[in-house]
Structure 1
Amino acid sequence: MSSPLSAHGDRHFDGLADKFAASLYGGARGELRLALLDQLLPEMLELRGQPLLDVGGGLGQLAGWFAARGHAVTLTEPSAEMLTRAREHLAGQDVRLLQAPLQALPEQAPGPWPLIVCHAVLEWLGDPRTALAVLARLLAPGGQLSLMVFNRDALRLSNVVKGNLEKALADRLEGKGQRTRLTPISPLTHGQIEDWSAEQGLMIRQVAGIRVFADYLRQSPERAADRERLLALERRYCRVDPHWRLGRYLLYTLERPSCSPEEATT
């Protein structure tokens, strides 16, 4: 069944948990995404066992990854069905679960937080710009935000590769959120993240592309040796310009400075 938009115009996933799990984490592409994050998160973040807010934590994969590394995690998720799946996945781990949309977090999980993770969430929101402002307010001075977004430029190229030239030329790339297809309603560009981060006083410290090659292949590799070669390519070029710019997802480390720019120059 379709998942209606929330009052904020956001796409939630009640009734779609199985499809969500298969689409985002199932198969070779899902395995590749998790393998790349396993490498990149320790490289791109300063991890010291800080308390962590996982925003829109979905099925709990990231929350479990951080909890296993000593972080006290609070996972927030608006979908009751997804939260139930996360509870099952995270049984026995130090993770607090909170059913809440991103817009409610200043009241329900105010922090300030030294570490926030928000992966594959903004592209499902009706107003991702305001959502990033909310995340910035939750972040402690000196705190880090690990942000991953669905890349609009990669979506355009993917449509061209598939022969959807008219759609790409008209820039009709967004999903509508009214059917069971999982095309994000707000795919984002690197330029938007640059501009919106600057508006909130956040510094972009690191950036990488997730799956810069895999989603453009005519056929996913079937042999284990070929999958290993693809992973090696992804690891080699995921942080190399211009390749990272066409990752299916863009992964950022954003930081709230410990002092304002004016204080830093006095």
Structure 2
Amino acid sequence: MSLPIDPASPNAVSPLSAAGDRHFDGLADKFAASLYGGSRGELRLALLDRLLPEMLALHGQPLLDVGGGLGQLAAWFAARDHAVTLMEPSAEMLARARLALADAPVTFHQAPLQALPEVAPGPWPLIACHAVLEWLADPRAALATLADRLAPGGQLSLMVFNRDALRFSNVVKGNLEKALADRLEGKGLRRRLTPISPLTHAQVTAWSAECGLEIRGVAGIRIFHDYLRRPAESDADREALLALERRYCRVDPHWRLGRYLLYTLVRPESPPSADREPRP
């Protein structure tokens, strides 16, 4: 019989929060290795380095980084002269972000997304929320909370884990019954890192319209990499794969199977008319 883990231990794996969300205390090492380590993480960051300046109008405006994790995204914006406010619910993740960003113009808050109205009410000209909504019990309400913090004309850089890509990946791996039954969500148990609320493009489109946000751009992150039969091993193969990802990440239909979907959402200066459709 295994002994219970002391919640104060650095090796503790936090359960779901009171709101039913997945946080990452006790999982920082696994999180860093699984999501940012190796070719998957390198490719994700390389694509963001290319896409963020293309998809956002950046002019050094203050940035709110919600669910900032280990601080990679905050570091990218801070290096480009943005004053960053980083919010992260996990004490362990936040401690690592503080260490990594010790010399950067970043303000830190340990708080979940739901605390935005109290901790960082804004309005903000620029918000980033990458790979967060899929770990929440109610991502629809979370998007509404983010939208409420945007200033008129403000931009939200949103990245979500793609449910359709998760289904396709399961089929490729031979998990046919799981795909047929649509049992795709993780349970948030133990050390597994399958998101509890993977999202579809249709959901993001509908919820954005509900919040009065316009979709100004969309891209797929890792549209080919995660379906390779064997990983790219040589430098030449890795460069060729990166070139393919860059070429097709914003081309329909390829972007739709990105492991992550990256959006630029904008709160219009004036409310959109009732008959105006959101743009994909």
TM range (shorter): over 0.9
CA distance in 2, matches of 1:250, 1:136: 18
Give the C-alpha shift of residue 262 in structure 1: 4.8
CA distance in 1, matches of 2:113, 2:13: 21
Aligned-residue CA RMSD (Å): 1.1
Contact kept in structure 2, 1:3 and 1:180, CA below 8 Å = no
- Structure 2 partner of 1:146: 157
Instruction: Please state whether the residue corresponding to 1:100 is helix, strand or coil.
Output: coil
TM-score when normalising by structure 2: 0.93
Find 2:243's aligned residue among 210, 223, 232.
232
- Structure 1 partner of 2:207: 196
- Structure 2 partner of 1:56: 67
For residues 118-157 of structure 1, give each alpha carbon's deviation from its aligned partner in whole angstroms, at most 9, with x where no partner exists.
0000000000000000000000000000000000000000
Give the C-alpha shift of residue 260 in structure 1: 1.3
- Structure 2 partner of 1:208: 219
Contact kept in structure 1, 2:160 and 2:262, CA below 8 Å = yes
- Structure 1 partner of 2:140: 129
Give the C-alpha shift of residue 2 in structure 1: 3.6
Q: Which consecutive aligned stretches of 4+ in structure 1 deviate over 6 angstroms post-superposition?
A: none
**Is 1:7 aligned to 2:18, yes or no?**
yes
**Is 1:119 aligned to 2:149, yes or no?**
no
Give the C-alpha shift of residue 3 in structure 1: 2.6
Letter in 2 for 1:207: V
Give the C-alpha shift of residue 218 in structure 1: 1.1
- Structure 2 partner of 1:244: 255
- Structure 2 partner of 1:89: 100
CA distance in 1, matches of 2:80, 2:163: 32
CA distance in 2, matches of 1:198, 1:179: 36
**Identity among equivalent pairs (%):** 81
Contact kept in structure 2, 1:210 and 1:247, CA below 8 Å = yes
**Is 1:186 aligned to 2:183, yes or no?**
no
Find 1:223's aligned residue among 205, 214, 234.
234
CA distance in 2, matches of 1:181, 1:14: 13
TM-score when normalising by structure 1: 0.98
Instruction: Please state whether the residue corresponding to 2:197 is helix, strand or coil.
Output: coil
Aligned length: 264
Contact kept in structure 2, 1:3 and 1:177, CA below 8 Å = no
- Structure 2 partner of 1:253: 264
Q: 1:20-39 maps to which residues of 2 (within 5 A)? A: 20-39=31-50
- Structure 1 partner of 2:7: none
- Structure 2 partner of 1:162: 173
Letter in 2 for 1:225: A
Letter in 1 for 2:152: P
Instruction: Please state whether the residue corresponding to 1:261 is helix, strand or coil.
Output: coil
Instruction: Please state whether the residue corresponding to 1:222 is helix, strand or coil.
Output: coil
